[in-house]
Amino acid sequence: MLIATKGSKINISSKKKLEEVAKEIKSKIKPGDILFLYGEMGVGKTTFVKYLINNFQLEYNEKISEVTSPTFNIMNEYKIKDLTIKHYDLYRLNSSKELVDLNIFEKNEKSILLVEWPEIIKKKPNLLIKLFFEYENEYQDRFIKIVN
């Protein structure tokens, strides 16, 4: 799946642009895909996830969910028709040993995994889409870079 050329950055400073990017990525991903979301706090990772999940819900004429960060419960799960979207936030984990109980990478061809703060994961899956969210211009602008 090619969403953007390697190294290209997309300006997502406006919520409208971030929603457009989420909609474009939604049209390219499929069950079985794993997305790692990198970036500082407040840069737009969870807002991106919200737009992505809400676009899936709109496609299947389902009620729009309030999508929140799973910082305290580690994972939120969204069922949309036959698809399951698992949204992980690993910020509070202290070591990769804590990942064992989560079974993040269990085989499930009907799931899409979205993982915020994936730096703690030592053994990365082979098929992986990395989204790098970053600030520029003294936190005035936000960008996303997509690597797959």
Stated pTM of the model? 0.91
Scored b (16 or more CB within 10 A) or e, 6-38 reads eeeebebeeeeebbebbeebbeebeeebbbbbb
pLDDT at 130 over 80: yes
pLDDT tens digits for range 9-43: 999 999 999 999 999 999 999 999 999 999 999 99
